[in-house]
Amino acid sequence: METHKMLSIILLSYFSENRIFTVYEQVKQKMEAEQIPFELIIIDDGSKDESFKKALELEKTDSRVRAFQLSRNYTSHYARFAGLSKSKGACAVGIPDDLQTPLEVIVKMYRHWENGNKIVIPFRASRNDGWLSDLFSTFYYGIMNAISDVNFPKGGADGFLIDREVVDIMNERIHPINTSTIVEVLRLGFDPVFIPFNRPTVKSKSRWTFKKKLKLASDTIFSSSSFPIKCITIIGFISVIISVFSIIVSTFLKFSGNQHLFGLSIPGWTSTFVLISFFCGLILFSLGVIAEYIWRIYEEVKNRPGYIIKDKTKPKS
């Protein structure tokens, strides 16, 4: 096998027992037809069905297949990190088990890599996940592009093909915790190439729950942007201006004996209650943002692994 041209395909498996053989056959046929040397690294993300057992069966029948299982469900970004740590190819790409990134796109990415591009990122030119999911995605990527130090393509992206040099950086320099692979890849530079594609509609139900999406959104925002904490300074400055204005107005009303402002009655207790509530809420909000960063620092200094790959050589007790 030509290892200097080998493509490491990381199959992100989660409750995939009914799909894994089909995906393997499709990958095998496509890569062989395109004469692309490959290895298939199956990362089982803590499935509770027979997914990993079937992955091990594939490993026994094809030397190009290697199967690993995470100790629990870490979500797909951490499964990608795990797959990169096990990859041996000259370049690597992750694919979902429902092939929402078509194999034709993977081939196109590989051809770009052959032409010297070290990072190739496919982005969704169209999507049809339902209006609520589409709205969430549009809002999320809009916020990310506005406040973070990375720029997502229109429609968003979560997959990529990267050169061995970038794989080594991801494995050796990036701590896979409270972040996502696509954010870390985009931050590295290397002049990425973006390829549009139309994501096919799949019948299977998405395993990305709202809770997982919300955690991913918060992790990527806080790991790639300092805007939330800078925003506290801006809000604090605005609050000072409001406070000074309130003091001036209150002093004027006190000495003038007038309890009306622009024709509205301003009882003393009401204005006091409103101001105290406003600033208490502002303080709690600011502390919450600061706590998010401190919590992430705390998680980093503990130096816990972002994922754990189970030792498949040890029999179950």
- 81 part of a folded domain: yes
Same domain, 237 and 217: no
| 200-212 as b/e: b if 16+ CB within 10 A | eeeeeeeeeeeee
- CATH number for 130: 3.90.550.10
d(CA 165, CA 163): 5
Identify whether 292 is part of a domain: yes
Domain boundary residue, one of 194, 224, 254: 224
Residue 278 and residue 129 in one domain:
no
Residue 212 lies in a domain: yes
Q: Where are the beta strands (DSSP E) in the chain?
A: 7-13, 38-44, 65-69, 91-96, 119-126, 161-163, 193-198, 260-261, 264-265
* Mean per-residue pLDDT, 78-91: 94
Asked whether residue 313 is domain-assigned, the answer is: no
Query: Is a pLDDT exceeding 80 seen at residue 201?
Result: no
**pLDDT band with cut points at 50, 70 and 90 for residue 44:** very high
Buried b (16+ CB within 10 A) or exposed e, 172-184: eebebbbbbbbbb
Determine the pLDDT at residue 151.
80
Among 199, 224, 249, give the residue marking a domain's end.
Answer: 224
Both 216 and 289 in one domain: the answer is: no
Q: Enumerate the H helices of 115-163 as residue ranges.
A: 131-147
The rounded Cα 219 to chain-centroid distance in angstroms is: 7
- Measured between alpha carbons, how far is 168 from 91 in angstroms, rounded to an integer? 10
Residue 271 has pLDDT above 70, yes or no: no
Looking at residue 138, its pLDDT comes to: 75
User: Which residue has tokens 């400055």?
Assistant: 237
Tell me how far apart the alpha carbons of residues 132 and 15 are, in angstroms, rounded to a whole number. Answer: 25
Q: Which pLDDT band holds residue 12 (cuts at 50, 70, 90)?
A: very high
pLDDT-based confidence at residue 197 (cuts at 50, 70, 90): confident
> Which of 166, 201, 224 is the last residue before a domain boundary?
224
Decide which of 223 and 202 is more confident. 223
Based on the fold, state whether residues 244 and 167 are members of the same structural domain: no
Higher pLDDT, 141 or 65: 65
- As a whole-number percent, the residues of the chain with pLDDT over 90 amount to 39
pLDDT of 262 above 80 = no
The pTM is what?
Answer: 0.76
Give the per-residue pLDDT at 205.
59
123 and 267 fall within a common domain: no
- Asked whether residue 139 falls in the same domain as residue 241, the answer is no
**Best-predicted range by mean pLDDT among 162-166, 222-226, 292-296?**
162-166
Identify whether the C-beta of residue 178 lies closer than 8 Å to the C-beta of residue 222.
yes
Given pLDDT bands bounded at 50, 70 and 90, which one contains residue 212? low
Which residues make beta-bridge pairs with 124? Answer: 197
Report the pLDDT value the prediction gives residue 192, as an integer from 0 to 100.
93
Same domain for 157 and 294?
Answer: no
Phi, psi of 276 (to 5 degrees): -65, -45
Name the average pLDDT for the chain.
82
User: Which pLDDT belongs to residue 305?
Assistant: 84
Per-residue DSSP letter, 147: H
Alpha carbons 110 and 161: distance in angstroms, whole number: 7
Q: Do 212 and 231 belong to one domain?
A: no
* pLDDT tens, position by position, 141-168: 777 777 777 788 776 777 899 999 999 9
Tokens in use for 240?
């000072």
Same domain, 156 and 285: no
Q: State which residues form the domain around 205.
A: 7-224
Contact 219, 178 (CB under 8 A): yes
What integer pLDDT is reported at residue 240 of this predicted model?
Answer: 72
Q: How many domains does the chain contain in total? A: 2
Average pLDDT over residues 28-33: 96
Tokens of 168: 């080594």
pLDDT band at 255 (very low <50, low <70, confident <90, very high): low
Kindly state the DSSP code that residue 71 receives in the 8-state scheme.
S
pLDDT confidence tier of residue 33, bands split at 50, 70 and 90: very high
H/E element, 317: none
